[in-house]
Amino acid sequence: MNNKLFATIIALFFILTASLCYAAPTPDNSYTTVLDEGGNTVYITGWKMQVGDQMLTENNRRYEVIRVEGNTAYAKLLGEVNLSAYYQEDSFLFSQLKAYLQPLILAAQGGSNGKVAVYHTHSDESYVPTDGKESILGAGGIYKVGDAFTSSLEKKGVTVIHSQAKHDPHDDMAYERSRRTAMNLVKKEQPDAVFDIHRDAVPPEVYKGNVAGQDISKVQLVVGKYGPTGKQIEDYALQIKAASDKKHPGLVKGIFFAKGGDYNQDLHPRSMLLEAGAHTNDRESAEKGIALFSDVIPDILGKSSAPTGPNAAGATNSAGNTGLGSAAGGLSGASKSIGWILGILVVGVAAFLLLSTGSLKEAGSKLKNFTSTEFANFLGSKKTKKRNTPSSFKKPDEEQQDK
């Protein structure tokens, strides 16, 4: 009986955790090709997709994944998105007046045109043509791309805090480690926007482009739709793309809407994951692309106190956060999911015991016996082993984990 119960608990745990898969970079530099209903390639990204994920293409056609087979995703067209609802360009007269008054506006704001926080969840990400490797633990080329973004924003009067925190290795827990960095930035710096800058993992031509007369690597926006602020971040991304399309057409490759991710975007109403080029592009082109992208940010920050559009939620307070999407939210989507798993696991075990014994009293007796024998024996053997072999205990060397 005890062995059967233990096996049931283990099986339930693995079944439930397996169901929580969410979009993540594909392993071994494979990538996902998205085909429409006619078999045409409409999107390519290094993210592994699942049914329900969506994407907005460069020409603003929105698709939803309906089937996935290996590295190929099949999608249906949801329609063309009119981004004019998300961004209204200033009239010529007003833009000229604003440019004339900009020095006075900056002076009134203490010389700042807003504050932005930048960090890198995947600290190792690099660009092969420039850096020689796709992954450099603790010193990825992605930091130099972040520097280019920072420098360009500062020239526009934006205050930038560029975190140099490391979150290696590049694994499924990287976002949990970088969550601490993001929370500290939000609480301490109270930025108007937060950017987690990455690079993608696809062939070079996917991101290669020429914008404003420069050979650049394009930018992709990634939105995590899992969690309470998913719709709000979605509107923010659409607002950014609308502004970018006006200022630098062709710069934003598209937006990937991940059904099961949150990427710590619940911490701030203007939190965005950016991908600047791919590991196959040269880093200089990514730096040029992200510098052009920075042209959009001051305008976006000055448009309103919160993202606009039909899904916008909540007003921004003086700290730059909404009550729903503030750092006080604490746990990430992954941590909340683990809580649900444990809750369902408890209910499943209780149901199993009740059905197998026929009464609550007998079920309680079996559970008491299980916890007092199986777990006690398990913990006891561990203590004995540690007590009898203290000199043989050695701290294992850190294992370097490849990209």
Is the pLDDT reported for residue 53 higher than 90?
A: yes
Reported as a pLDDT band with limits 50, 70 and 90, residue 394 is: very low
Q: For 269-376, where are the E strands, in sequence order?
A: 271-278
Residue that wins the pLDDT comparison between 99 and 53: 53
What pLDDT is recorded for position 393?
31
Please tell me the least confidently modeled range out of 333-347, 349-363, 375-389: 375-389
Is the pLDDT reported for residue 361 higher than 70?
A: no
| Cα separation, 237 vs 247, whole angstroms | 15
Output the CA torsion 328→330→333→338 (10° steps).
-150
Render pLDDT for 220-247 as a digit per residue (tens, 0 to 9): 999 998 878 889 999 999 999 999 999 9
Mean pLDDT calculated for residue range 376-390: 39
Q: Is 112 helix (H, G, I), strand (E, B) or coil?
A: coil
What pLDDT is recorded for position 352?
61
Check if the beta carbon of residue 186 is closer than 8 Å to that of residue 327. Answer: yes
Rounded to 10°, the helix 2-18/360-388 angle is: 90
Is the pLDDT reported for residue 157 higher than 70?
A: yes
- 191: which 2 tokens? 């930025």
What pLDDT is recorded for position 105?
52
Reported as a pLDDT band with limits 50, 70 and 90, residue 260 is: confident
Is the pLDDT reported for residue 31 higher than 50?
A: yes
Is the pLDDT reported for residue 256 higher than 80?
A: yes
Q: Average per-residue pLDDT in the chain? A: 77
What is the pTM assigned to this prediction?
0.70
Check if the beta carbon of residue 274 is closer than 8 Å to that of residue 255. Answer: no
Nearest residue to 122 via CA among 108, 104, 141, 99: 141
Check if the beta carbon of residue 73 is closer than 8 Å to that of residue 49. Answer: yes
Nearest residue to 245 via CA among 98, 58, 91: 58
Render pLDDT for 136-150 as a digit per residue (tens, 0 to 9): 998 999 999 999 999
Is the pLDDT reported for residue 160 higher than 60?
A: yes
Residue 9 CA, chain-centre distance (Å), reads: 31
Render pLDDT for 67-98 as a digit per residue (tens, 0 to 9): 999 999 999 999 999 998 887 665 556 555 55
Residue that wins the pLDDT comparison between 21 and 142: 142
Is the pLDDT reported for residue 275 higher than 70?
A: yes
Check if the beta carbon of residue 115 is closer than 8 Å to that of residue 161. Answer: yes
Residue that wins the pLDDT comparison between 100 and 116: 116
